[in-house]
């Protein structure tokens, strides 16, 4: 199962990307699907297993985000 993580702006997506890359976590940057949000053009996509690790890092670093689960 895939998880899409959406932030308030591209700026926060880039900051999260830099942080998660340092941690060696598995994810990719994608264009945010329009049905999810039109506010931020970039999101992070990962699998459910990696999402748990990513979520922990984001919470520890006080990132605000929304997550959406899909196929």
Residue 40's H or E segment, with its range, is: none
> How far are the Cα atoms of 20, 29 from residue 67, in angstroms, in the given order?
16, 14
Whole-prediction pTM? 0.92
Which residues of the chain fall short of a pLDDT of 70? 38
Handedness of CA 48, 50, 56, 61 (dihedral sign): negative
pLDDT at 39: 75
> Can you give the pLDDT at residue 1?
92
Domain total of the chain: 1
What range does the domain containing 44 cover? 2-70
- Domain of residue 62, CATH code: 3.30.70.260
pLDDT at 7: 95
């Amino acid at each position: 199962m895939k998880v899409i993580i959406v932030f308030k702006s591209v700026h926060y997506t880039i900051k999260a990307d830099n942080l998660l890359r340092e941690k060696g976590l598995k994810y990719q940057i994608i264009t945010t699907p329009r049905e999810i949000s039109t506010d931020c053009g970039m999101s992070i996509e990962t699998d459910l297993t990696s999402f748990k690790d990513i979520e922990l890092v984001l919470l520890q670093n006080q990132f605000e985000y929304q997550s959406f689960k899909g196929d």
